[in-house]
Copies of this chain bind each other. A is one copy, B any other.
Amino acid sequence: MIVVLKHGVEREKREQLIEWLRGQGLGIHISEGEFQTVLGLIGDTSRVDMDLIASLGIVDSVKRVTEPFKCCNRKFHPEDMVVEVGDVKIGGGNFCMIAGPCSVESEDQIVTVAKAVKASGANVLRGGAFKPRTSPYDFQGLKGTGIELLKIARKETGLPIVTEIMGVNHLPLFEDVDIIQVGARNMQNFDLLRELGKLRKPILLKRGLANTLKELLMSAEYIMAGGNEQVILCERGIRTFDDYTRNTLDLAAVPMLRELTHLPIIVDPSHATGIARLVPPMALAATACGADGLIIEVHNDPMHALCDGAQSLRPEEYDALAKKVYSVREVLNK
């Protein structure tokens, strides 16, 4: 950690700070320049409160030299992490196509959609059982029943299943779920993350609406620090001033995360845009910039078919998209 002191600070205050830092068990390397003094802190700085030091009147700025994340840091894990779910591999050059309806509604619905997306090349089935809704009066999902229906669809198709958890209390219901999803609103529900770190099961961690990449990695770190290393990161749009789409899909996060971490990175163009007709172009863009997979909403509801609407694709639209996705991957992997 490097601490840059302001120009012309009183010697006494400077000494007090240095003494205080030494009291924290740190070695201090002092470098006095013409315009500033730079303190290099040597030792275990992971417990040093960077914000506190930065806020001191005599400090100009503080800079971590080593990132605060370790388990998910590519520096220490140069090889891509490959998450395995049955026969499906995610990361390390393997492309994963997760698809399914927003909410599980009925056995017929989930099985029909599962078969359709499998036929188009999807290798994981998604479906919401617990739904995080802004309003307490909105439909909250089929909960336990929804998970049971997902298992039926898994049995019928062989597709592993992924579904979202909303609280530590529901963990027992997720025992036989293949991948547990943490939604954007729970990305910093640290208690939940810590519990998921005790499992030995893949976690699909979605980026929060207003979270930086570093915060996303620190949340992955919460899970991995507990011993569960199978974390899949998901970019799903951030909140900006822009309101023509539900969120702003931040695709540069894909190559940037690729540098920072060895974890697989997938993209959710459905939630990012909230508009079905924008899903195919953004899915192709995500593929072209190197994502390890896509999670896409597909629905066979006649209402959707009827009105060309919502953020869900119809099975035939998904099929057409999947073909294009594979051809873009192929041409870029040549």
Contacts and interface: CB of A to CB of B under 8 A. Distances in A.
A278 B255 contact: yes
A63 interface: yes
Contact of A42 (B20, B35, B63): B35
Contact of A278 (B239, B252, B277): B252
Given A35-B42, A331-B328, A218 B135 contact: yes
A86 interface: no
B38 A31 contact: yes
A282 B251 contact: yes
B249 A242 contact: no
A13 B66 contact: no
30 contacts: A16-B306, A16-B307, A17-B306, A20-B306, A31-B33, A35-B42, A47-B139, A52-B303, A55-B275, A55-B310, A58-B307, A59-B309, A134-B218, A135-B221, A136-B194, A136-B221, A137-B225, A168-B168, A169-B169, A238-B242, A238-B248, A240-B240, A243-B243, A245-B252, A252-B273, A252-B278, A256-B278, A284-B332, A288-B328, A327-B331
Contact of A29 (B34, B238, B240, B311): B34
A250 B252 contact: no
A203 to B, nearest CB: 14
A166 interface: yes
Nearest to A53: B309
B185 A212 contact: no
A40 B46 contact: no
A163 interface: no
Contact of A209 (B2, B42, B210, B221): B210
Q: Which 9 A-B pairs have the closest CB atoms?
A: A210-B210, A167-B191, A31-B31, A33-B40, A56-B309, A288-B288, A57-B308, A285-B285, A281-B289
The winner among A42, A61, A288 for most chain B CB atoms within 10 A is: A288
Main secondary structure of the interface of A (DSSP, over half): mixed
A185 B194 contact: no
Contacts of A49: 138-139
The winner among A170, A249, A289 for most chain B CB atoms within 10 A is: A289
Number of copies: 4
Nearest to A7: B65
Nearest to A247: B252
Interface in A35-72: 35-36, 38, 40, 42, 46-47, 49, 51-52, 55-61, 63, 65-66, 68-69
A189 B185 contact: yes
A225 B138 CA distance: 12
A234 interface: no
A286 interface: yes
Contact of A308 (B56, B192, B218): B56
Contacts of A186: 189
A279 to B, nearest CB: 10
Contact of A65 (B35, B69, B330): B35
Contact of A56 (B51, B209, B240, B310): B310
A123 interface: no
A150 to B, nearest CB: 20
A93 interface: no
A95 interface: no
